[in-house]
Amino acid sequence: MLNKQQNILIIGAGLCGSLLALRLAQRGYNVTVYEMRPDLRKTDISAGRSINLAFSDRGNKGIKLVGLEDKVRPLCIPMNGRMLHDRDGKTVLSNYSGRAHEYINSISRGGLNALLLDEAEKHNNVTIHFNKKCKSVNFEKTTAYFIDTLDSTEFIEDADCIIATDGAGSALRQSYFLERKFLFSFSQEWLTHGYKELSILPEKNGGYKTYKNALHIWPRGDFMVIALPNLDGSFTVTLFLSYDEGEYNFNNLTTPEIVIEFFQKEFPDALELMPNLVEDFFENPTAPLGTVKCSPWHYKGNTLLMGDSAHAIVPFYGQGMNASFEDVVEFDAVLDTHEGDWETIFTEYEKRRKKDTDAIADLAIDNFHEMKDHVGQAIFQEKRKIEMALEKEFPEDYASKYSLVTFNEHIGYREAMLRGRAQDKAILNMLSDGVISADDNIKDILVKVKTETKAILEDDKIAGLH
């Protein structure tokens, strides 16, 4: 039944594609990867993409799977919490968890991707081609049509199966949509906000201009700035802002004066750290924030979408890369059971996985509102205080929604979402009704939160929700 000499074509050598290539190589398949960009180990091609990313426990499952934990750790900068900056430049650090060993990491996209490419290429059964852009996929014939971006030659590649890890603008997904050969459910949803990358450069001595081990947030209700540390002492800064609503927006921030005015008014302490603001602002592109969901991901046993091509999400939960790496782990587990039968593998994989990637897409939208707005509200701050105390006092018994999503990698995103949302609802309502307060006995709070959360989940179930 099992034929390991099968040829697998992977479209896209980004984070998901290169991890997948490495894992399939380890399993003995013949793997050929086509990437539209130049080799990022030889060229700087970061423009327009996030330079660093949040890397956490779910992503680490994928890294463990391929045995690279020791090589990835040095690329990581731990971020223990959110450092919130108010308009006066006053800061407060809000830990991600009441458990000291739970934190997320800032990691360089390029550095991690280069490592995965290097490791994949150590296998004789892996070939990676760069500058080859996929234009379309014939999913009936299992062939992909490419154009060489350097010399514009065109060619068709055949394979036993094709896995597209070619990101939010996937060529395979586009072929599914445009060909109309089967019922393809598809959604693309854009936020009214876009984003622009800026930077806080290192001190002259290479040190960090602000606290290194945090994800910095300047929440302002309708917009926000965040910053993540890099190994070289810099921070990558991102401004999330409406295209056309509010006093200041991307459409009206058209002159250096108004950009400075905006930052002076809203982010004075950040402005002080960014003498390079105006240059960055007008050099860097403004990019949209979209969510993509679709189904089916596969066509028979011929083709499969994985990573962002199947489920692009907004960045606000720091789970984009982590979800894609978890895809590879889940796919690998299905391979263990059904190896040799691609159609069953693809079907089972989607059945197991889609409910979870749908959930993280929705959670990421939730967190957009939480980060830019809720973190600044009193009732949410009181909830957060209670949850930190619960996690510290009862590390085995309590996990906040954030912890369920980020640090409880043994449960799926969907379960994390349902439990986490019910818990949030329980705490917020009990706070609002005066049933609990942050000063109560912590054990009493735990019992009340657990009881109320269970009741909420039960009520939803009876009403046929979920």
Using CA atoms, how far apart are residues 142 and 182, in angstroms rounded to an integer? 16
424 touching its own copies, by CB under 8 A: yes
Site string for its own copies, 369-388 (x = CB under 8 A): x----x--------------
What residues from 139 to 198 belong to the interface with its own copies (CB under 8 A)?
183-190
Using CA atoms, how far apart are residues 348 and 345, in angstroms rounded to an integer? 5
On the 0-12 / 13-18 / 19+ scale of CB atoms within 10 A, 156 is exposed
Beta bridge partners of 144: 137, 157
What residues from 332 to 371 belong to the interface with its own copies (CB under 8 A)?
369
432 touching its own copies, by CB under 8 A: yes
What residues from 271 to 300 belong to the interface with its own copies (CB under 8 A)?
288, 290, 293
With CB under 8 A as the contact rule, the residue among 69, 86, 203, 459 that binds its own copies is 459
Q: Identify residue 406 by its one-letter amino acid code.
A: T
135 touching its own copies, by CB under 8 A: no
Q: Among the candidate windows 24-32, 411-419, 425-433, 437-445, which touches its own copies by CB under 8 A? A: 425-433
Nearer to its own copies by C-beta: 190 or 282? Answer: 190
Using CA atoms, how far apart are residues 401 and 157, in angstroms rounded to an integer? 45
**Residue 452 Cβ, how far from its own copies at the closest point, in Å?**
10
Structural Rg of the chain based on CA atoms: 23
Query: How many residues sit close enough to its own copies to count as binding (CB under 8 A)?
Result: 25
Within 10 angstroms of residue 112's Cβ, the number of other Cβ atoms is 25
**Residue 367 Cβ, how far from its own copies at the closest point, in Å?**
12
Side by side, the strands of the sheet bearing 7-11 are 126-129, 30-34, 7-11, 161-164, 303-305, 298-299
Nearer to its own copies by C-beta: 111 or 315? Answer: 315
**Residue 165 Cβ, how far from its own copies at the closest point, in Å?**
23
Among candidate residues 309, 319, 217, the one with its CA nearest the CA of residue 270: 217
Nearer to its own copies by C-beta: 8 or 436? Answer: 436
On the 0-12 / 13-18 / 19+ scale of CB atoms within 10 A, 187 is exposed
Instruction: Please check whether residue 448 is in contact with residue 436, taking contact to mean a CB–CB distance below 8 angstroms.
Output: yes
Nearer to its own copies by C-beta: 399 or 430? Answer: 430
**Residue 177 Cβ, how far from its own copies at the closest point, in Å?**
9
Among candidate residues 69, 57, 63, the one with its CA nearest the CA of residue 104: 57
**Residue 14 Cβ, how far from its own copies at the closest point, in Å?**
22
Nearer to its own copies by C-beta: 18 or 347? Answer: 347
**Residue 169 Cβ, how far from its own copies at the closest point, in Å?**
10
Interface residues toward its own copies, by CB under 8 A: 183-190, 288, 290, 293, 369, 374, 421, 424-425, 428-429, 432, 459-460, 462-465
